[in-house]
Structure 1
């Protein structure tokens, strides 16, 4: 082995603590970088990536099997501009019933022999593909009331309205990025699901050479349907519509993931650079010894770069594995939300992170060693032993005057002796405190968002206040098996109001009626919700303006204002069943239901509105069950019933953000703690001789621990004081970006979530990070024997 090789091996083996710290810090930084990079990748046009991976259909067309022939449909796949096609697949719409006898919403069932193909490659999430006549595969987003807490596999769906009442067993759960079906079966099974006297339809999926705009997709639609009778085309769906829907669903998540991803990457580079630079800087005396033995500056640089790369390479390998393990469950959650095909970390992320980590280590070690290697041998030997005796002397003198134990004042002055090292620890704590502050702010903001979204809050309801039923439809079966209904048209609304008022426990109540109207300038109807009574407890949050107070005044969501080009204070013309109604917009409300196109007003604004539902708030201390029983008795003549209201629960998107926030915050705090650990380890090892002297003079292990821990107190307090405003500033950028991405404004309470007492505690979080990072070296210093410390150089 060459002399240089022996130096590298000796350096790695002799400085075991520093070697371990470099490896551990690199591993944690690489893990954080893999997670951050994966989130950035997942957030970059997620629908587009999923669409390309699964060869999504630019256009899906459904054809009536009684009005077109299979040959006509087959010929459409050869139309000009079509680059790939799948089908025609036989398809029917069938209503199923579960084993408990609950009717489920109708399903679009497609006969497909396998999930693959050149267009719309369906991703099988769990189970197997349907191949037998009694098997069915459900779509992951099919509205069939599948309990998300248990696997749907093995569930039986009956079709009692069909000949023979066929029963199919769920054998798989799949996802189509093009959302082409609610369920899939073997082609031969379609005949069993087809009503007598009717013919199954055809579904054809196309990819076009040009489909980036609505005009291009429309041109492709015209080309493929040219040979099919116009009356036979029963429905088409463009991928641009799906893309817009996906953007609305995931828009809130993207700015949040980008913020945490960038924070993780920057922090990883910072910590690795500081650790390596500190380790090389602590070896100045060793560099002087090597130069005295005849090593050239270039050889000194190569030796120290190699000494840093050996543990860094091991740490990088461990970090990549750990980062992938941590990222998989997080990406699995984002996959479910984004509709991606897989939840695996992009291999390119691993390659880039590994290369970047090793480059950062090599460059940092090279720069530090090169600076030290250029010192004269005598200077390196002198400077490398300890910091300059004058550095920090003033701070030590001032600290000694404080009414604190001497062991504490010794530690308090220590950061001024090594200001560069103290700044490195400070930067780590600032990032850690900022991450915690951002996480706390996001959690509070998301709680406010969920509260603002949870409209129509009540203790008791009559009918469903959030019901959207077509005219003439009285009730539907909910996903949980409960019947969701509206107040019957024949019911006496005045009698219902009187029955509610007569109940002793009634605090307040209001009724709500919903009817679609046409708004000037919009092609699709908008639902109008007309209220009567006290709506103050309903939970609607205003973004700007005020709630309506009289007929003719309306409040609308942000999306409505954008779509109509109006603002608070403007008027809008409504066409209500042929009657023109001019209303004034007096407020902007936070509401995302009905694609943010709902209109809220007094019931008297529109004529002949009959309440669909009633929401009731009861007095504190009222027995809700007894209240419902008594009210039910009074409502019996009106053929309707009351029930205790149930919580809608937190939305999947907000739960996902909360889970990812907790994971990322823990990772970033751990990385920040390692930055402190590195600085304290270097400082403690450098001062081990001084520690031995102090112990010889009577310093106890407890006082030694106090000295080491107090050396990070000022850094922790300053880091917390700087990190909290930084986290608040980041929160102030992320939340508006999330709102803009979702295309809606947000109530002011979503942004003003920090309280003075909470900020003080968050500021102390920097101190907690610093103390936790210093615990291990403090324990080592306390356990070191006096003789051993005096011998150590």
Structure 2
């Protein structure tokens, strides 16, 4: 054991840089996997915690005021119900901010779907104008307990008694109204009612919705939301961040394993004489394997422990969402297990790859075999001989030949170096896609910057004139959005009519063509998946008791409502249902206009008749991904550097036995150095070409797969510019050549006695 430790200590002193790189790479990989786990927990646990503690409803159904919702209590599979509660639509204003809300009449805290107070207190009969706000709505209004809010259009005010978390879909400006729990004295003009159903089997949600629609009638249903939709909306971008971190963390772990395997294999080939001496003085094959295995497992263990310690001690101090995620994750029950299991799994994987390479060291014979002198890389190929005959520089020809002479071994070397480069190219694609979300929102389904809701006191013609009067407004598209029941009556979707035949809405299409003709529509990926239809099919849906039959002629990129949106022109919806009137306007601004500044100007010009909101860009929630991508590129670059140093070390060691032959044919030390540098550059060039050729298609496939699973749809991926890829490849090749120059020059200038000892 003492001899084993002495050998390991000597080797560590000789290869300090390589050991440091292995430790840092392992630390970076384990840290990425731990952060991915934290983000997954942060994405799923808060909503699940609220849903469990609130005894949340699996199905929430909004109906008309005359619907006999009490009949739902006897449905098979319904465990308990929340409500029914009378509801009224209203607009709350506070400190210049406004929000469209649903006032929900309740006199006492409900047993099903009860809000979880985070501040203040529950409704009090002694405060007839007191209300409780959903937490996100309270944040949007900058309101807290004790604040007074105005019910616009009524002249009345309400007082905030408390703020609460809810498991129902949260407030989203222009999309989802905020939830306000209020006493009956505040809900004076109810226009509908809502009931929540808690099921004995959550897996029967679709069947329960279908049964409820059958009992009440399609005309009585206004909107249906399920617990799955609320969970998906609550998870949002955190889940995507976790998936990205996990994917690249696993990829980096595999790349690190291959890098370790390659490093050990190359070192074994370069230390055959030393290994033979170890065996000659009494080391058994098992002891030789143990030396390499223990040494590299110790490096991996050190890096994994460092990553776990830093993640536990400093993870919650990371600014932004990552720090919040780690802080929440540290309080979850499974955090301790994950903090132990992930580093152990990483160490075991690296140990397994190390063992495979170290096993070769145990098979080295105790008597070193003299290696014959030969041309660099073996016998010259006909192409190489022909190139020398054309008087091309011998260093370039022999360097190229030396880089690709050995068949499977050369392919394996290029593959190991290409893997981290491929992951870097994929990370660059992810970065470019996020940039396109910000720079070209019209290409990902967001051609407009503002959403305007007009009340009944303002006519359509007057509203459009008011909007288009602003000098920074390029166009205003009138429309309407209603909830529609899908065939089978298991869920509701968003049916939108935007633009007119003369001024069509500029949808971002990924498939098919725009909807120009009568009864033509475009749909999001989420709707196509929900209904199991394709472009070219006809679909029938119900709005109240009025059927709508539309022909899907294109697939649009829909970042809203999980892609469960079908869109046509306002003229088409009016032809099918003349009662529909425009109350929604999508406003496209001129380049360079500030959406928030224009929104404030339009709201002031509307004198209380317009509710203006800036359109939410999904990329705003992906901002932390930029820092994640930078960190991943740094870890992958470190792994690539380890592999590159391994390639250089192997090329230099294998070139030692060729120095005599090269000097004998008249090559100078500078030319001999150029051979190794060229060989390294050619290997790096092959890896760069392979990574570039495969990285972009694989990245596009993964991004589009994520787009399809989220309902947005494929077609959102964007690749980096060819110039950036050329710069990346050139930097990698030149960097490899620069790193190889110094060790190659030292080897070429070694003394003759040293060279002879290497050949022996």
Which of the five TM-score ranges fits, normalised by the shorter chain?
0.5 to 0.7
What's the TM-score, normalizing by structure 1? 0.65
Q: Secondary structure of 2:500's match?
A: strand
- What SS class does the counterpart of residue 59 from structure 1 fall into? coil
1:554 match: secondary structure: strand
Per-residue CA distance 1:411-468 (angstroms, 9 max, x = gap): 444435777764454123321332233233334445566433443437xxxxx5x345
Q: Specify the SS of the correspondent of 2:24.
A: helix
| Correspondences of 1:355-374 after superposition (within 5 Å) | 355-360=344-349, 362-374=351-363
Change in Cα spacing, 1:564 to 1:180, as seen in structure 2 (3 Å) is closer
Determine helix, strand or coil for the equivalent of 1:512: strand
Is residue 2:524 matched to residue 1:557?
yes
Contact 1:510 1:533 (C-alpha < 8 Å) held by counterparts = no
Q: Distance in 2 between matches of 1:123 and 1:774?
A: 63
Q: Is the 8 A contact 1:433 1:762 kept in 2?
A: no
Contact 1:435/1:727 (CA < 8 Å) preserved in 2? yes
Measured after TM superposition, the shift of residue 263 of structure 1 is 1.8
Q: Structure 1 residues 311, 196: closer, same or farther in 2, change over 3 A?
A: closer
CA contact (8 A) 1:30 1:353 kept: no
CA distance in 1, matches of 2:224, 2:580: 35
Structure 1 CA distance, aligned partners of 2:105 and 2:7?
A: 68
Specify the alignment match of 1:489 in structure 2: 459
Cα deviations across residues 749-787 of structure 1 (Å, max 9, x unaligned)? x35x458xx458637745633543564453455579957
Q: How does 1:698-713 map to 2 (within 5 A)?
A: 706-713=674-681
Q: Aligned to 2:631, which of 654, 663, 668?
A: 663
Instruction: Say if 1:453 and 1:592, in contact at 8 Å, map to a contact too.
Output: yes
Matches within 5 A, 1:459-474: 466-467=451-452, 472=455
The answer to whether the aligner puts 1:455 opposite 2:446 as a matched pair is yes
SS at match of 2:416: helix
1:8 counterpart = 2:5:
yes
Structure 1 unaligned spans of 5+: 63-79, 84-92, 112-118, 147-151, 183-189, 200-204, 222-234, 459-463, 475-487
Answer yes or no: is the 8 Å Cα contact 1:255–1:734 preserved in 2.
no
1:314 maps to which of 267, 289, 302: 302
State the Cα distance separating 1:730 from its structure 2 match. Answer: 1.8
Whole-Å Cα distance in 2 between the matches of residues 456 and 368 of structure 1? 55
Q: Does 1:22 align with 2:9?
A: no
Structure-to-structure mapping, 1:247-326, within 5 angstroms: 256=244, 259-318=247-306, 320-321=308-309
* Cα displacement string for residues 659-714 of structure 1 (whole angstroms, at most 9, x for unaligned residues): 534432332233122211222134436656878999999967x8787555323211
Query: Are the structure 2 counterparts of residues 764 and 321 from structure 1 closer, same or farther at C-alpha, using a change threshold of 3 Å?
Result: farther
For 1:387 and 1:57, the matched residues in 2 are separated by 79
Find the partner of 1:514 among 477, 480, 492: 480
The aligned runs of 1:384-463 (5 Å cut-off) are 391-394=377-380, 408-409=396-397, 411-416=399-404, 422-446=410-434, 450-457=441-448
Corresponding residue for residue 71 of structure 1: none
Match of 1:737 in 2: 705
Shift of 1:540: 0.9
Q: Is the 8 A contact 1:11 1:307 kept in 2?
A: yes
Change (3 A) 1:583 1:694: closer
- Return the match for 2:139 from 144, 149, 156: 144
Q: For residue 778 of structure 1, what is the aligned residue in structure 2?
A: 741
- Pick closer, same or farther for the CA change 1:210–1:165 going to 2, 3 Å: closer
Q: For residues 103 and 751 of structure 2, what CA distance do their matches in structure 1 show? A: 78
Distance verdict in 2 for CA 1:329–1:275, change over 3 Å: farther
Distance in 1 between residues matched to 2:636 and 2:344, nearest whole Å = 21
Which stretch shifts more, 562-571 or 22-31? 562-571
Mapped contact 1:689–1:791 kept (Cα < 8 A)? no
Q: What is aligned with 1:545?
A: 512
Mapped contact 1:253–1:738 kept (Cα < 8 A): no
Question: Cα distance 1:97–1:432, how it changes in 2: closer, same or farther (>3 A)?
Answer: same
Deviations 1:709-755 (A, max 9, x none): 323211112112222232234224313421331235334xx35x458
Distance 1:490 1:297 in 2: 87
Offset of 1:21 from its aligned partner? 0.7
Larger mean Cα displacement after TM superposition, 568-577 or 731-740: 568-577
- When residues 314 and 366 of structure 1 are mapped into structure 2, their CA distance, relative to the original with a 3 A threshold, is same
Shift of residue 20, structure 1, vs aligned partner:
3.5
Q: Give 5+ residue unaligned stretches, structure 2.
A: 60-76, 81-88, 107-112, 125-130, 173-179, 189-195, 213-222
Q: Relative to structure 1, is the Cα distance of residues 688 and 319 closer, same or farther in structure 2, using a 3 angstrom cutoff?
A: farther
**Contact 2:320–2:624 (CA under 8 A) maintained in structure 1:** no
User: Could you say if the C-alpha distance between residues 514 and 287 of structure 1 is closer, same or farther in structure 2, counting changes exceeding 3 Å?
Assistant: same
**In 2, Cα distance between equivalents of 1:208 and 1:771:** 64
Question: Is the 1:269–1:360 Cα contact (8 Å) retained in structure 2?
Answer: yes
Alignment partners' CA distance in 1, 2:752 and 2:134: 68
Contact 1:305 1:365 (8 Å CA) reproduced: yes
> What is the aligned counterpart of 2:205 among 183, 205, 214?
214
Q: Distance in 1 between matches of 2:287 and 2:590?
A: 82
CA distance in 2 between counterparts of 1:304 and 1:144 reads 57
1:322-374 Cα offsets, whole Å, 9 max, x none, are: 67799878997479799965599944445344434544555555544443443
Question: For 2:367, what is the secondary structure of its paired residue?
Answer: helix
- Alpha-carbon contact 1:8-1:307 (below 8 Å) kept: no
Shift of 1:646: 6.8
